[in-house]
Amino acid sequence: MSTFANADEVYKYIGGIFEIATKETSFVEATKGTGLVVTLIQTDPDAILVIDFPGQTVTTGEAAKGLTSSVQLRMSSDNSNKFWQGKLNFTLAMAQRKVKLDGKRSVALKLLPLTNGLFDVYKKLLVDNGREDLLIR
């Protein structure tokens, strides 16, 4: 059973943290001139998000289908939840094929160290929405 009840929850919480990330100064500076657009394909529940760092937008669901991206990232929704809480080693998860990354990998991987600063923001997002049950202790 998934951590999230449905795709709408994935869009609210995972999409929500990406909405914050695309406007975070460190991400804006790190992605300037890269054209980095990430398609995030989530499973259990199925969800699709397109994160356009230069455009500072996140598109979800049907609207995201068919958009082009420079990087494709696939993982379970549970692993996304773990990652944004600092509980998933991204590199190890890639080696174990729990996470699949295609496209401009080097640009996307440069962002990994920047995500650490958003882990507490993600946890606060969950708590503020009464979803302490999604927190990993």
Q: What is the pLDDT of residue 76?
A: 97
Q: What is the pLDDT of residue 1?
A: 55
CATH at 53: 3.30.1050.10
Q: What is the pLDDT of residue 47?
A: 97
The reply to whether 131 falls in a domain is: no
The reply to whether 23 falls in a domain is: yes
Which positions ≥6 away from 53 have C-beta within 8 Å? 22, 27, 28, 31, 34, 36, 37, 38
The reply to whether 98 falls in a domain is: yes
CB 70 within 8 A of CB 35: yes
The reply to whether 56 falls in a domain is: yes
The reply to whether 93 falls in a domain is: yes
The token pair at 86 is 């600092």
As a whole-number percent, the residues of the chain with pLDDT over 90 amount to: 83
Q: CA-CA distance, 20 to 22, in Å (whole number)? A: 6
- What three-state secondary structure class fits 43? strand
Report the range of poorest mean pLDDT among 23-37, 77-91, 120-134. Answer: 23-37
The reply to whether 39 falls in a domain is: yes
Domain count for the chain = 1
User: Which residue range forms the structural domain that includes residue 104?
Assistant: 7-125
